[in-house]
Amino acid sequence: MPSGRTHDRITMYALPLVAGITFWQTRSSNATLLVAGGFLFGGLMFGPDLDIYSVQFQRWGFLRWIWLPYQKSLRHRSFLSHGPIIGTILRILYLGCLLAILAILVLAIAEKLWNLSFTWQDLGQTVGRSLLQYDTEYIALFLGLELGAMSHSLSDWSGSAYKRVRKQGVRGLLPSGKMKKRKVTSRGTRRATVTRKSNGKTTKDK
């Protein structure tokens, strides 16, 4: 598995390519900025390795404690953290829930101290209108976050696959379950052959 510095280099080297392709396809500076910013943030601070004590985790500084429940709930390199799309969605939901709780507490305190006049229904409608009005921007930002996360996951998977191929050859690319099944079958065949020989019988397998 590549080191944290290697992941950072991959993110920085791929950033101009991601920004260039985005601008070529959209011709929009805003979309390019959102995708590139999301890619940079996803690769350096919001990637799959938040499920362990990693460089990404440490970059959150004094706020890194917010990811401790996330780490304890997931196994490292599980599909929920490193899987395509689902990993990014889960991290967004997790961080979004924390920010929502914090916003509710701040607004409740502000309402008591400064007698602010607002209702939670108005707040919900405002958030809903924002999601509908800026849906393109949110999609661009999510795409950037996903690309940043997948650059990390793909480098992990390709590095692991390369090591398996060096040790086991092409068989290293096969699922482990099939290899175990083949080993069990070969052992069973050897035992059957020994049993037939010990009984003095010479039969052919069909």
Rounded Cα gap, residues 136 and 133, in angstroms: 8
- In this prediction, residue 164 carries a pLDDT of 61
User: Residue 50 phi/psi, 5° resolution?
Assistant: -70, -10
pLDDT (average), residues 138-167 = 80
Closest CA to 193 of 178, 185, 182: 185
Share of the chain above pLDDT 70, in %: 72
Element (DSSP H or E) covering residue 60 = none
The C-alpha angle with vertex 123 and arms to 121 and 124, in degrees rounded to 5, equals: 65
The pTM of the full predicted model, rounded to 2 decimals, is: 0.73
pLDDT (average), residues 17-31 = 95
If pLDDT is split at 50, 70 and 90, which confidence band does 179 have?
Answer: very low
Rounded Cα gap, residues 88 and 146, in angstroms: 6
- In this prediction, residue 97 carries a pLDDT of 94
pLDDT (average), residues 123-141 = 87
Digit-coded pLDDT (tens) for 74-126: 988 888 988 899 999 999 999 999 998 998 888 888 777 877 666 667 777 88
| CA distances, 11 to each of 72, 79, 109, 156 (Å) | 27, 21, 40, 13
